[in-house]
Amino acid sequence: MSKRVLVYFSLFLCISLCTSCFEILEEIKLNKDGSGTIMVTLNMSKSKTKLASLMLLDSINGYKIPSEDEIDESFKDVLYHLENTAGISNIKKTKDFDNYVFTISCDFKNVDNVNAIFKDLIKEQNKNNYTNFTTTNLSYNISTNVFKRHFKYDDTIKKSFNSLKTEDRKVFDDASYTCIYRFEDKVKSISNADAKIAPNKGAVFLKVDALSLILGDKNVENNIELTK
- Tell me the pTM: 0.86
Q: Give the domain extent around 173.
A: 2-226
Side chain identity, residue 203: A
Q: Provide block-wise average pLDDT over 10 residues at a time, the chain (228 residues).
A: 42 50 91 96 82 71 74 81 92 90 93 87 70 82 96 84 79 87 98 98 96 92 96
What are 171-214's pLDDT values in tens digits?
Answer: 788 889 999 999 999 999 999 999 999 999 999 999 999 889 88
CA-angle at 160, arms to 159 and 164, nearest 5°:
110
**Contact by Cβ (8 Å): 145, 227:** yes
CA-angle at 147, arms to 141 and 150, nearest 5°:
110
Q: Is the dihedral of CA 76, 77, 82, 84 positive or negative?
A: positive
Side chain identity, residue 190: I
144 class by beta-carbon count within 10 Å (0-12 exposed, 13-18 middle, 19+ buried)? exposed
Side chain identity, residue 48: K
CA 69, CA 100: separation in Å to the nearest integer? Answer: 14
**What are the φ and ψ backbone dihedral angles of 56, each rounded to 5 degrees?**
-85, -10
Q: How many CB atoms lie within 10 A of CB 136?
A: 14
Total domains in the fold of the chain: 1
What local confidence, expressed as pLDDT, does residue 142 receive?
95
Q: How far is CA 17 from CA 11, 35, 136, in A?
A: 10, 35, 27
Q: Is 191 helix (H, G, I), strand (E, B) or coil?
A: coil
- H runs (alpha helix) in the chain: 2-16, 48-54, 68-83, 111-129, 155-163, 166-169, 210-215
Q: How many CB atoms lie within 10 A of CB 224?
A: 23
